Amino acid sequence: MQKGEGDKTKSVHLRTGSIYLINERKPSLSYRLFERGVGMGLPGLCVTRQHPNRVKQRLELPNTKLIWLSQTPGKGHHNPTDIGALATLISSFIESNKKSVSLIDGLEYLVINNGFQQVLKFIELINEQVMQSESLILIPISQNAFSDKELALLERNVETMEGTDAQPAGAQKDADETID
């Protein structure tokens, strides 16, 4: 993504056909990047632990499908223990929208409900799908929630970047930029 001229923040360049793990305790950069992609007209899929009404209140997300990772049954809700169906949902979205942007917020929650190995398989499966498209997937993670070995396995076949809360004092990254 590339910003306008008067901006004093650093550029963020994202390659399509990629998954990005974004290291941030709170997923602010991830949501801004997602909102920017959707604002550029890309179809969006947002899988989140946050209630969809809160996401809609905070962000402008036209042309976006919101899925709430929740044990509570309901329309637009997805049981976090059904990771196979979630992988199918995401793969189908990418297949239907060859150029799209997706956000998966709640990877740690998926690990709690399925175990790390199942979540790693899930990431690898959707990575295969996204690499064959012009789509982009953003996954915020808190590195503190994973062991060094787990992080190495997660990061092996995806792109990584630091979020705003992971940067040194005074440094900033902004998502008011365009997807390459």
What DSSP letter does each residue of 105-147 carry, written as one string?
--HHHHHHHH-HHHHHHHHHHHHHHHHTSS-EEEEEE-GGGS-
Which sequence spans correspond to the domains of the chain? Answer: 18-165
Beta bridge partners of 160: 21
What radius of gyration, in Å, describes the C-alpha atoms of the chain? 15
With contact defined as beta carbons under 8 Å apart, do 60 and 173 qualify?
Answer: no
Q: Which CATH architecture has domain 18-165?
A: 3-Layer(aba) Sandwich (3.40)
Give pTM, 2 decimals.
0.85
pLDDT by 10s per residue, the chain, length 180: 433 333 322 467 789 999 999 999 999 999 999 999 999 999 999 999 999 989 988 998 988 999 999 999 889 899 999 999 999 999 999 999 989 999 999 999 999 999 999 999 999 999 999 999 999 999 999 999 999 999 999 999 999 999 864 443 333 333 334 344
The rounded distance, in Å, linking the Cα atoms of 104 and 140 is 7
